Amino acid sequence: MADLLLVDNDARILELMSLFLERAGHRVRTAGTFADARARIRERRPDLMLCDLEMGKESGREELPRIAREGELPPTLVVSGYADREVADVLKALPAISGVLRKPFDTARLLAVVQDCLEGLRPPAGGGPRA
């Protein structure tokens, strides 16, 4: 399946999401801070990063655009209870943002949205137009 990076400051959320996504066949790594996320991205760029917005002293509203400016933001699904329409619109303006999933959500919804994001990253079948 896919190589996923989960970024959240709540260890319980990281544990539960990791277990569910691993059972669905994905390889999962985690980060509890944006500094940790940068290190994991540099180690091995994930197919998709799932990232919370409000992480205590850090905010994805500031960090995600900063990581994008640095050229290191992988395709990202924002997973947050604080993503109102205005924030979602600002984040979706970043080319790497694949979508926004509002908390709370059920595991079926999480898996479906992750799958949709991953499918959106794949090149079309057939390699493009024929000559």
- Coil, helix or strand for 54? strand
Express each pLDDT in 50-93 by its tens digit: 999 999 899 898 999 999 999 999 999 999 887 777 877 778 78
Q: What share of the chain in percent tops pLDDT 70?
A: 92
Residue 124: band (very low, low, confident or very high) from pLDDT cuts 50, 70, 90: low
Cα separation, 111 vs 103, whole angstroms: 14
- Looking at residue 27, its pLDDT comes to 98
- Looking at residue 71, its pLDDT comes to 93
Question: Could you tell me the residue ranges of all domains in the chain?
Answer: 52-104
Residues 82 and 59 sit within 8 Å (Cβ to Cβ): no
- Looking at residue 131, its pLDDT comes to 35
- Looking at residue 125, its pLDDT comes to 52
Helix 85-92 and helix 60-69, axial crossing angle in degrees, nearest 10: 10
Residue 4: band (very low, low, confident or very high) from pLDDT cuts 50, 70, 90: very high
- Looking at residue 5, its pLDDT comes to 98
Cα separation, 112 vs 10, whole angstroms: 22
Residue 128: band (very low, low, confident or very high) from pLDDT cuts 50, 70, 90: very low
Of 66, 62, 79, 69, the closest CA to residue 9 belongs to: 79
For residues 84 and 35, the model is more confident at 35
DSSP 8-state secondary structure symbol assigned to residue 120: H
- Looking at residue 31, its pLDDT comes to 97
- Coil, helix or strand for 92? helix
Angle at 101 between CA 98 and CA 64, to 5 degrees: 55
